[in-house]
Amino acid sequence: MSSASDSVRASGRRPVTPRAHPGKAYHHGDLRAALLCSARTLLEEQSIAALGLRAITRHAGVSQTAAIPHFGNLTGLLSALATVGYEDLADALTPALPQGAHAAGMAYVRFAIRNPGLFTLMFRSDAIDRKEPDLAAASAQTSAMLTRLIGSLEGPRSSQTRAGTRAALWGKVHGLAVLAVDGLLEPLLTFDGEEMSLDELIADALR
- By the rule CB under 8 A, 188 interacts with a copy of itself: yes
DSSP category for residue 51: -
**Minimum CB distance to a copy of itself smaller for 95 or for 164:** 164
Number of residues that bind a copy of itself (CB under 8 A): 43
Query: Considering only residues 29-88, where is the footprint of DNA by CB under 7 A?
Result: 29, 31, 52-55, 57, 62-66, 68-70, 73-75
Helices (DSSP H) in the chain: which residue ranges?
A: 31-45, 53-60, 68-71, 74-93, 101-114, 116-122, 133-151, 159-181, 198-205
Choices 10-18, 116-124, 129-137, 186-194; region in contact with DNA by CB under 7 A: 10-18
Q: Are 72 and 132 in contact (CB under 8 A)?
A: no
**Minimum CB distance to a copy of itself smaller for 10 or for 196:** 196
CA atoms of 201 and 85, how far apart (whole Å)? 25
Q: Are 85 and 2 in contact (CB under 8 A)?
A: no
Q: Are 102 and 154 in contact (CB under 8 A)?
A: no
Query: Considering only residues 123-182, where is the footprint of a copy of itself by CB under 8 A?
Result: 123, 125-126, 143, 159-168, 170-179, 182
**Minimum CB distance to a copy of itself smaller for 6 or for 126:** 126
> Min. distance of Cβ 198 from a copy of itself in angstroms?
10
CA distances for 68 relative to 24, 53, 56, 119, angstroms = 20, 9, 12, 24
Choices 19-27, 30-38, 96-104, 193-201; region in contact with a copy of itself by CB under 8 A: 193-201
CA atoms of 116 and 43, how far apart (whole Å)? 9
Q: Are 77 and 53 in contact (CB under 8 A)?
A: yes
Which residues are near a copy of itself by CB under 8 A? Answer: 47-49, 123, 125-126, 143, 159-168, 170-179, 182-183, 185, 187-189, 191-192, 194, 196, 201-202, 204-207
Which residues are near DNA by CB under 7 A? Answer: 14, 17-18, 20-21, 25-29, 31, 52-55, 57, 62-66, 68-70, 73-75
